[in-house]
Amino acid sequence: MPAKPGRAAPTPARVVEASPIVKWVGGKSRLLAQLLPRLPETYGRYYEPFAGGAAMFFRLAPEAAVLNDFNADLVATYRAIAGDTDAVIRRLELHRKHHAEKHYYEVRARWNDRSVSWSPVDRAAAFIYLNKTCYNGLWRVNRSGGFNVPMGRYVDPPICVPDALHAAGAVLARAELRSGDYRAAVADAGPGDFVYFDPPYDPVAPTANFTSYTRDAFGPDDQRALAGLARELVERGCRVMLSNSDTPFIRSLYRGFRVDRVQCARAINCNAAKRGDVDEVVVMGGY
């Protein structure tokens, strides 16, 4: 219907597609174009046991999902956003207003002070603020669990993007958010459910083994256990997809599965010259 004379036509509501709200090692945003065509055509509940930035989850925006990560602070942040997005935004706006080197290190020191009592919203906002302003967006903890990354040198870091946070919050509110071991996260997965594993990768070189977003490493025995779980899930009737490095070891673990090689651009590296494409595999079973 044309607009009446003297009255502007109504502006359509802007729909923002949900996307990751934190930068995370191994994030899949750059690989989605290659992963999406390889998804099962249909599935029931969606499971992502190694959520991280959860790019796949946000793109699919499933109606029924289980999102899990071993990093309890990350999951607590997702819970706070799902529960009260506006409150998190208000706290982030304060961080944006006061952002400076002094403020960054004050927030980092408070984050690492175990005697400090936080509200869920305040801690979530601090987590996002540190993630958005730390060096290279690299969330790293030391052996005692302390966040130890220096401030990054950004002109205008995206500390608070309300539309993106609201879009993410709407999708997160539909999911069951868990924090714990990946095996427990899929214990109730059943026939027809889809499980996407994005674990810490098998290192392609001795210096490539970065798993310090929690205090626990993920070694060869863990990779073997994960492969065994993937087989068990397929036998249960689940559809399974897994991402990992393209190494002989990983290929040997998934014999009998469909294994496709893909190339992915790596964004997190202290040396910008080493942020090029790397070979990965996408493993599929049960469909």
Q: What is the pTM of this model?
A: 0.88
What pLDDT does 211 receive? 46
Lowest mean pLDDT, pick from 57-66, 80-89, 201-210: 201-210
261: β partners:
281
Cβ–Cβ < 8 Å for 282, 260: yes
Model confidence pLDDT, tens digit, residues 172-185: 999 999 999 999 99
Query: Of 105, 119, 127, 104, nearest to 22 (Cα)?
Result: 127
Q: What is the pLDDT of residue 11?
A: 47
40-54, 67-81, 86-100, 272-286: least confidently modelled range: 272-286
Which tokens hold the place of 97?
Answer: 């207003």
Instruction: Report yes or no: 266 and 205 within 8 Å, Cβ to Cβ.
Output: no
Read off the pLDDT of residues 190-203 as tens digits, 9 standing for 90 and up. Answer: 999 999 999 999 99
C-alpha distances out from residue 21 to 96, 162, 237, Å: 15, 10, 32
Mean pLDDT within 228-243: 99
pLDDT above 90: percentage of residues in the chain:
78
DSSP collapsed to 3 states, the chain? CCCCCCCCCCCCCCCCCCCCCCCCCCCCHHHHHHHHHHCCCCCCCEEECCCCCCHHHHHHCCCCEEEECCCHHHHHHHHHHHHCHHHHHHHHHHHHHHCCHHHHHHHHHHHHCCCCCCCHHHHHHHHHHHHHHEHHHCCCECCCCCECCCECCCCCCCCCCHHHHHHHHHHHCCEEEECCCHHHHCCCCCCCCEEEECCCCCCCCHHHCCCCCCCCCCCHHHHHHHHHHHHHHHHCCCEEEEEEECCHHHHHHCCCCEEEEEEEECCCCCCHHHCCEEEEEEEEECC
Q: Which of 41, 67, 63, 71 has the alpha carbon at shortest distance from 54?
A: 67
Mean pLDDT, range 221-243, rounded to an integer: 98
DSSP-derived letter for residue 44 is S
Note the Cα 259 to chain centre separation in Å.
23
- What mean pLDDT is reported for the chain? 90
Quick one: pLDDT at residue 26? 81
Tens of pLDDT along 136-171?
A: 888 988 888 899 999 999 999 999 999 999 999 999
Choice between 213 and 113, residue whose per-residue pLDDT is larger: 113
List of domains in the chain = 29-285 (3.40.50.150)
Query: Which of residues 277 and 218 earns the better pLDDT score?
Result: 218
| pLDDT given for residue 275 in this prediction | 54
What are 122's two structure tokens? 């305040």
* Short-list 178, 119, 109, 180, CA closest to 149: 109
The single residue listed with the structure tokens 């083994």 is: 209
Does 25 or 45 have the greater pLDDT score? 45
pLDDT score of 138: 86
The backbone torsions φ and ψ at residue 242, rounded to the nearest 5 degrees and listed phi first, read -145, 140
